[in-house]
Chains A and B, each alone.
Chain A
Amino acid sequence: MATAEKFVGGGVPRKEDPKLVTGQATFVESITLPDMLHVAVARSPFGSAQINNVDLSAARTAPGVVATFSGEDLADEWAAGLPMAWPVTEDIRIPDHWPVTKDVARYVGDAVAVVVATSPSAAKDAVELIEVDYEVQTAVVDIPSALADDAPRVHESMESNECYTWTHANGDIDAAFAKADIVITENYVQPRLIPSAMEPRAVVVQPVPAAGDFTVWSTTQIPHVAKVLFSLTLGIPEAQMRVIAPDVGGGFGSKLNVYAEEVLCIALARRLGKPMKWVADRSEGYLATIHGRDQLQEIELAATSDGTILGYRVKLLANMGAYLQLVAPGVPLLGGFLYCGTYGGEAYHFECTGVFTNTTPVDAYRGAGRPEATYAIERAIEALALEVGVDAVEIRKRNFLPAGENVPSPAGLAFDSTNYEENLDKALEVLDYEATKAEQADRLSQGSTKLLGIGFSTYVEMCGLAPSQVLASLNYGAGGWDAATVRMLPTGQAEVVTGSSPHGQGHVTSWSQIAADALGIDYQDVTVLHGDTHVAPHGMNTYGSRSLSVAGVAVNQACNRVVDKAKTLAAHVLEVSPDDLEFEDGKFSVKGVPDRVQSIQEMAYAAWTAHNLPEGTEPGLEAHCVFDPPNFTFPFGSHVCVVEVDTETGAVELLRYVAVDDCGTIINPVIVEGQVHGGIVQGVAAALFEEATYAEDGTLETSSMINYLVPSAAEFPSFELDRTVTPSTSNPMGVKGIGEAGTIGSTPAVINAIVNALGHLGITDIAMPAKPERVWQAIQDANGDAS
């Protein structure tokens, strides 16, 4: 089926952009329906409180208010609580999680009552009139206090705040440590982060009471999964539920969930028979949308005296927040196979305990477990380098897994494609490592107060979820396949229906490129339909850098099936055997007789008229494909960061950022670079800027962008990007995910660079985020120690 690649690999402009940059996109917030009512949620201001009474009388009579409900009032609406789809162990503790809590508020932001009104402002104003009689209890907001012997329990029915403990082992870990010359033990804190998608969450529900149907527009990454779970939560037959993700303005995992407000709006639409709308503002989103990270890590490396790693032992404590959101328990597991990074070894042992606290639930945030794992190993290997007395590059090269295909990792996975040393060498070349080191040494010897640091991170990640059977072994509640339908329209254009639901990734452009090349048509002649369960009934949606390597491959394979059928039609018209035809540039020609030609567009018309089809052939030119890959994909790369540390103030400035990523075959280099840029920014943000903090009583201190520091372009240099291309063996296109790679690779590179800049003072660690005072204090302490 070889056909020239005209569009794949080219940086064609994104088809999505004209409507986005001219304000013609349809976001959930912009949807208005006749008779629509507006929903506002009253939320607990306390981290832990008994609810003695909810007095709705003043709110109910406020101007514009149609109805008010407490959690108790809505109790009969739910066929089940909010779903959690990844019970990682058999004995995991799963708390009840009601969309509006009934008797206990377990975090600041827990929904306690709801107002339905004729305008958003009337609803908000009425929320202020709700009087809740709270009996405030002691909150536990961090992991150590939640695990203390006498800790108050987040869920009173449980014996402790431990949610589950999951272990994964490969090889003989005790033997590896027994024969080690060097044991490195490091402890790291992964601060809690808040996903800050540009578009806050929103939901609109349209009921058709006479038919019992519901249409839900939601800012979701997962319309198909949500449809099933809405149905189960509300007891509404799945066939009567239609979920639409229109234009969605970013997610980063925060919209990979089923949220209280979504099912609440459906329940209220059912109860009141009117369309409902709820729109979060930024601060409400910070309370009521999942957070990310928040883990305590202990990593131990067993190594020989020359720094060859023998074994990895990891103990992880992961904050789950107050309840279990959709895939929360599984997030640490996604990192649980990657604490060996790009390196070899004979044994691996990982143990993770999930912990409940009185905080906003934690779930998948861009990278989900893998940034944390990468941070730990990429920081720990620097500690090993110091112990052995070798350079950061040398320690990595001594331990890299060999280049190859399906290479076994110490954790027991098979990495589809490895080529780590060549990739790192390319980064060193872009950086000019020797010259940068020379400048660093010059500044130090001249007593400069602006010191340079060079930090490395050579990451591998596991993405493209993926083999349904492997997910089954991890007790994940869904498959890892995705679907595509490709149909030729009678006028010669193609419609691609995809099960992956974009929210900024550029699926429409990339899928158009894939289909255009496979079908031999222009990419402007491809339309991509997505995000509506009535239009695209089959899909597993968009998360975990899976779209291209699963759904994109399905598009490619469905196109191939279309071409196969078109070939039989062309053979019929041309009165030859299909084997006598070759296909190039959208044209079927008889081998050796190039003027005997039928185009795929002509075959689309012929299939539509059905006037002259081969015996037994159905009309229409359309094919469906569901692709379930045999393995994850394992993109990798080398990130090198050069920072300038102002030793007088502790300020850290990024001077250079070099990223050489390997995501296999590239469909659109501009989209890949955009993903890498955004990923780096989010990873650097964790290293330098962002940290969600709670007061002891459970108040989220960083409740807006005033003090939750999302960086802007002004904080970054121009990134220097390059790539190696090592095709994946997990799919026929050789593609690997790139959506999370930047976030996974970048964080440790920054911290390694700061530590590198200050290493001469004996500084070996800086906690994240490396805010100026923290860096300055470390310098003061080191100077104090030295004097």
Chain B
Amino acid sequence: MIPAKFDYERPSSLSEAISLLSSGGPDARPIAGGHSLLPLMRLRLSRPTLLVDIGGLSDLRYVREDGDHLAIGALATHDDLARSAELLDRCALIPCVAEQIGDPQVRHRGTIGGSVAHADPASDLPAALMVLDAEIIAHGSNGPRTVLATDFFQGPFMSALEPDEILTEIRVPARDGWGSSYQKFQRRAQDWAIVGVTALIESGDGITGAAIGLTNMGGTPLRATAVEQALVGSSDPDGVAAAAAKVAEIGTPPADENASSEYRLHLAEVLIKRAVAEALS
């Protein structure tokens, strides 16, 4: 488990980090908690020539309210998210997802910025950002820019980030009064989701708003839009079940050693029903 040779820099400011990345070429990579990149490096599946360790940029570690939004710094750890009073109060979906990531060790080292930038379709947080219509802010040599979560994830381990850009902040709208659930199906507690379903439900007389995210059902996190549309207006388990069945409209999900496409689709349908039920409870 010895990585290939690489250089290492630990900048003390964001601008220094960006200039190190842009001068480091295409194989320079930022690193924070290291919980996605280091395992790949140790297996020599990833061979960055320069690591720019942004772990010292402590002003990127925060969760704060900003009017009707919540702003999350890229270096907030999963554990920070799981315990954040602001999030628990106004956007409970994020802590609900964050507390199911990996194990306590992973949650104390891994960061939201790293997890999102890594764009692993099996990661837990990206689908939550999709259903929250999050905005992702990145800083590069040309200054900051904002990318919608729906545009950010472009394929397995591929994002809209340019090589010299650093993800700095994630902004999610407050969802006061919305119910939320994350149904993660895995074989061991610390595994990636075989399938994950993120639900954000607003209800009054029946379901009045619904956002359903899917983890590990495609090359990127997905929104189950047909399910969402069918959920709105439904008020009983049969209606929810009929809506959940529309998950098939996403097409054929991937197959791997844990699940065939058919089984994955079936799991998604079951988990959508469970997620909606929990979000409504």
Contacts and interface: CB of A to CB of B under 8 A. Distances in A.
Interface in A109-151: 120-121, 124-125
Given A283-B43, A649-B267, A773-B259, A121 B188 contact: no
B188 A124 contact: no
Interface in B36-54: 42-43
Contacts of B194: 772
Given A649-B185, A714-B189, A715-B188, A120 B2 contact: yes
B187 A709 contact: yes
A771 interface: yes
B1 A281 contact: yes
B234 to A, nearest CB: 20
Nearest to B192: A706
B196 to A, nearest CB: 13
A701 B256 CA distance: 11
A704 interface: yes
B188 A709 contact: yes
Main secondary structure of the interface of B (DSSP, over half): loop
Given A649-B185, A712-B188, A715-B188, A121 B5 contact: yes
A355 B214 CA distance: 45
Nearest to B191: A709
Contact of A715 (B189, B266, B270): B189
B185 A711 contact: no
Nearest to B273: A648
B187 A281 contact: no
B175 to A, nearest CB: 28
Contact of B187 (A125, A689, A693, A701): A689
A121 B258 contact: no
B85 interface: no
B157 interface: no
A651 interface: yes
B2 A771 contact: no
Contacts of A624: none
Contacts of A715: 188-189
B238 interface: no
A8 B155 CA distance: 62
B266 to A, nearest CB: 7
Contacts of B270: 648-649
B19 interface: no
A651 B185 contact: yes
B4 interface: yes
A620 B4 CA distance: 58
Interface in B252-281: 257-260, 263, 266-267, 270
B190 A714 contact: yes
A707 interface: yes
Contact of A772 (B4, B187, B257): B187
B266 A124 contact: no
Contacts of B189: 712, 714-715
Nearest to A774: B263
B200 to A, nearest CB: 22
A776 B263 contact: yes
A281 B185 CA distance: 30
A704 B43 contact: yes
A312 B42 CA distance: 50
B70 to A, nearest CB: 30
B25 to A, nearest CB: 20
Interface string A626-664: 000000000000000000000011010000000000000
A772 B191 CA distance: 14
B42 to A, nearest CB: 8
30 contacts: A121-B2, A124-B2, A281-B1, A281-B2, A281-B42, A282-B1, A649-B185, A649-B267, A649-B270, A651-B185, A689-B187, A689-B188, A693-B257, A701-B257, A704-B43, A707-B257, A709-B188, A709-B191, A712-B103, A712-B188, A712-B189, A712-B190, A714-B103, A714-B188, A715-B189, A771-B187, A772-B187, A773-B259, A776-B266, A777-B263
Interface of B: 1-2, 4-5, 42-43, 103, 185, 187-191, 194, 257-260, 263, 266-267, 270
